[in-house]
């Protein structure tokens, strides 16, 4: 079946620190992989995605590389800001007829302190 295992939080970092949030997945086929971000009181927003092996998704200074050999999609940012404080969700979607359902990890709460 499909599942996503995500680094447990919460994570607290100082501003300008390096961020890594680990994500590994199990899938029966060739999934697309996503990172979604949820700011306080809001819905989820797509942060970045990768649709095939070795693709790198990037947005707002965040990056993640689709690693098929390690079934991983770790999120990184070189220098976090206070405004990056949010909950981050790793997710996968398998190509199938119809809805392409998303499978989510449990989320990692990031707090960045000045």
Q: Least distance from C-beta 14 to another protein, angstroms?
A: 26
> Could you say whether residue 49 binds another protein (CB under 8 A)?
yes
> Could you say whether residue 106 binds another protein (CB under 8 A)?
yes
Nearest to 21 by CA among 80, 77, 71, 82: 77
Options 28, 69, 70, 97; binder of another protein; rule CB under 8 A = 97
Question: Which residues, other chains included, contact 10 with Cβ-Cβ below 8 Å and sequence gap of 6+?
Answer: 108, 109, 110, 111
Q: Whose Cβ is closer to another protein: residue 12's or residue 106's?
A: 106
Q: What is the spatial distance between Cα 65 and Cα 68, in angstroms, rounded to a whole number?
A: 9
Cβ-contact 45, 60 below 8 angstroms: no
Options 25, 50, 73, 107; binder of another protein; rule CB under 8 A = 107
Q: Whose Cβ is closer to another protein: residue 33's or residue 112's?
A: 33
């Amino acid at each position: 079946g499909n599942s996503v295992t995500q680094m447990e939080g919460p994570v607290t970092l100082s501003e300008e620190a390096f961020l890594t949030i680990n994500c590994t997945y199990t899938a029966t086929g060739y999934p697309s992989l996503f990172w979604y971000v949820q700011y306080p009181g809001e819905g989820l927003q797509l942060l970045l995605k990768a649709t095939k092996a070795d693709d790198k998704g990037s947005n707002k200074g965040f990056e993640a590389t689709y690693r098929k050999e390690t079934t991983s999609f770790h999120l990184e940012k070189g220098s976090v800001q206070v405004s990056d404080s949010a909950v981050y969700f790793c997710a996968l979607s398998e190509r199938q007829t119809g809805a392409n359902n998303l499978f989510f990890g449990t989320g990692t709460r990031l707090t960045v302190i000045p």
